[in-house]
Structure 1
Amino acid sequence: MLKTVLAAAAALSMGATLVVASEPSAKSPIEVARSAEKGSLKNPYTDENAEIVEQGKKLYFSKSCNGCHGGGGGGGMCPPLSNDVWIYGGDDDTLFRLIALGTDEISKDGYARVRTENVKGPMMQFGSLIKTEDDMWKIITFIRSNYRGGESNKYGTPPKP
């Protein structure tokens, strides 16, 4: 921690701009999704962090996401998570809410299908199975690490407020 603070201080003294990522909370994903302003949720992790990807992979399998979306997110009885088609949008905020609340709840909040896929079943809410906001972001990071579509669509289009 001290090394991080000293490195930040040194960078600032050389004219760098400091960007502080918000730390994920221990709140449940449902609490976070219901209390955050639409469009404000942003993953603090990147899929370049192998440790976080591995933790997300373990959570993905332990919550049985693979049962519907396949082991690598390639689909199955539910849509793939690794191609260009983000049915409700692929931005962090939408994915977080979709997984936490499910399709029925986010539809009530004005989210609508923006693309289609061969499989059209509803997404059940997993916000009560995934214990913390941090765990949710790790799962989303694992999903991002398996994305095989075009780079320009990896993070989807953010929702309109």
Structure 2
Amino acid sequence: MRKIIIGVLAAGLVSGMSVFAWQAIAADECCPKDDQTPPLDLIAATPIGGLHNPYNDDVAAIEEVGHKKYLSFSCNGCHGGGGGGGMCPPLTNDTFVYGADDDTLFRLIALGSDELQKLGYTRVKKEIVTGPMPQFGTIIKTSDDLWKVIAFIRVKNPSSVKHVSTPAQTPGQ
């Protein structure tokens, strides 16, 4: 497996002064549980294809907390309370418009579909609803919270689990 070293900026306070340090991590080690990195910062620091959900091994264990976060970020307003759809596509069918892999879902939710398209992503599948996905990368404060929402989606759509590591597209590569 190929390792790509990326930098993660860690901030702290020492005697009232800000201290910044770069910590090198490998892309295949990305995304530990409880990661407090803001989603947009993690995206900026991680090459396409390098984002992996740390909860994939047991999404059922995180279902309840993931569902609560899904509701708290108002995902249900568009996708329905259980992910079955509403004015936007259901998360329970096998039509993931940009791809069902972890990296693409994380970027789609954080950046929104308009920004995702600016990065070179295109729709690889069709859905009845084709409106834009808004950006949630500033609403969802931590990468861990976003991974928990994605884990909830995986529980609601078990067939999507087979796609977690298989990108439907890799723009810019």
Pick the TM interval, shorter chain.
0.7 to 0.9
Percent identity for Structure 1 against Structure 2: 54
Is 1:23 the counterpart of 2:56 in the alignment?
no
Contact 2:78 2:85 in 1 (8 A): yes
Contact 1:47 1:53 in 2 (8 A): no
Contact 2:59 2:154 in 1 (8 A): no
Match of 2:54 among 21, 44, 49: 44
* Map of 1:101 onto structure 2: 111
CA gap of 1:67–1:134, structure 2 versus 1, over 3 A, is same
CA gap of 1:40–1:156, structure 2 versus 1, over 3 A, is closer
Distance 1:51 1:139 in 2: 12
Q: Higher mean Cα deviation, 45-54 or 102-111? A: 45-54
1:86 aligns to what SS in structure 2?
Answer: coil
Match of 1:54 among 61, 64, 81: 64
Is 1:130 the counterpart of 2:140 in the alignment?
yes
Runs of 4 or more consecutive aligned structure 1 residues displaced over 4 Å after TM superposition: 19-22, 148-152
**1:58-104 residue CA offsets vs partner (Å, 9 max, x unmatched):** 00000000000011111110111111101000000000000000011
Q: How far does residue 32 in structure 1 lie from its aligned partner after superposition?
A: 1.0
Match of 2:44 among 34, 43, 49: 34
Which structure would you say has the larger RCO, counting Cα contacts within 8 Å and 6 or more residues apart?
1
Distance 1:86 1:96 in 2: 13
* Map of 1:71 onto structure 2: 81
CA gap of 1:22–1:99, structure 2 versus 1, over 3 A, is closer
Distance 2:91 2:134 in 1: 15
Distance 1:151 1:50 in 2: 12
Q: Which amino acid aligns with 1:104?
A: D
**1:7-31 residue CA offsets vs partner (Å, 9 max, x unmatched):** xxxxxxxxxxxx9775142111111
Q: Higher mean Cα deviation, 42-51 or 133-142? A: 42-51
Q: TM-score, normalised by structure 1?
A: 0.80
Distance 1:51 1:110 in 2: 34
Distance 1:99 1:151 in 2: 17
Q: Which amino acid aligns with 1:30?
A: L
Distance 2:103 2:60 in 1: 22
Structure with the higher fraction of residues in strand conformation: 2
Distance 1:57 1:23 in 2: 20
